[in-house]
Amino acid sequence: MGDAERQWPIGKGGNVSKQFQPRKYKDGGEEWRKTEALTQQLCGYTPFKTNSMSRATTPLTPISEQNSLNGSICRSGKSHPFEYQNHSASPNPFQIIVPPSAGYRSVSAMGQPPRALSRQSDVGIGQCVGPRYQSYCTLPRPEEVDVGTLNDMHSNLHAFYSNMPSKVLCSLTIFGIGVGRMLEGAKWGIGIELAYALVVLAVGLGGVYSARRRSYVAATFAFSLNTFCMILAAPSFMIGLFPAIPWAFAEATPSVWSSNREPLELDFGLSLIIFIQVLLSMALSIYGYQAAGALCAIVEDVRLGQGMQSAFHDIEIPHKV
């Protein structure tokens, strides 16, 4: 009877509920799991085979030597999970050391202090991954300027000059030479070159004013007066060459064209400066004519656009109802 109770009948335990089974068969799986858990070694070795000894006389076993049969390492808990010590090679040539998993990185990469990131974009897009090198595009940008300030800045682009305008410089030179000829007692030092210098100065100042104030009226005045400067330059240019007429024509009387105290250097210098000024006036006149031609072309384009607008867009075309 006792042996019959111990033996479970074959073929009848498949559909029998656990509550109707004997006690020793009811919790057999759970008992087996508990026994297996107790007999399993946590760290892969038996912690204590003999009685515990004093900690003062027992040397600590390195962590690298505490390997299990399958090669796993029993790591001790650390405050920083990414820091590991560099241990020397194990004396056992057959020992297998499993490298850390892919989620771990060496202390050389993770333990370093983070570097300063580049400046993020102004459009609000955050930086996901820090760049390896600083970019030249992330240099400090200037402050934003409103439209009114930009308009004032663009209107005064030509308001600053690194040197004096050539027309003004020529006018001052002509005026100084004319004053010197009068002081030296020139025969024909009657002040004609002084008046011409003032006209040239008016052209130069008119051009400067038109550039600073963006005045088209002043620009038109400067271009128009510059054309007359080429015509008015003839008397002053000939006055500077009067002392050379007796040298070219033997029958000419020297006392009529020059005096005994005639400053020849100032006379020839006056003619040379006036010739340079005439060349500058010709170049400026060409620029003025090009500007006038461009203005006429713009006017023609505007008139053509208005004509096309009135011919094709403003006309009332009847639509079928």
Over residues 169-179, the pLDDT tens digits come to: 899 999 999 99
3-state secondary structure 256-304: HHCCCCCCHHHHHHHHHHHHHHHHHHHHHHHHHHHHHHHHHHHHHHHHH
Is residue 72, in this structure, part of any structural domain at all? no
Handedness of CA 53, 57, 63, 65 (dihedral sign): negative
pLDDT score at 161: 47
Residue 196 token pair: 């011409």
Is residue 320, in this structure, part of any structural domain at all? no
CB 275 within 8 A of CB 236: no
Mean of pLDDT values over 6-35: 59
Exposure string (b/e) for 277-305, b if CB count within 10 Å is 16 or more? bbebbeebbeebeeeeeeeeeeeeeeeee
Handedness of CA 202, 204, 208, 214 (dihedral sign): positive
Q: How confident is the model at residue 81 (pLDDT cuts 50, 70, 90)?
A: low
Identify any residues that bridge with 67 across adjacent strands, giving them in sequence order.
73
Q: For the chain, what is the mean pLDDT?
A: 71
Is residue 105, in this structure, part of any structural domain at all? no
Count of structural domains, the chain: 1
Domain region containing 302: 164-312
CB 241 within 8 A of CB 275: no
Percentage of the chain with pLDDT > 90? 20
Is residue 39, in this structure, part of any structural domain at all? no
Is residue 42, in this structure, part of any structural domain at all? no
For residues 212 and 99, which has the higher predicted lDDT (pLDDT)? 212
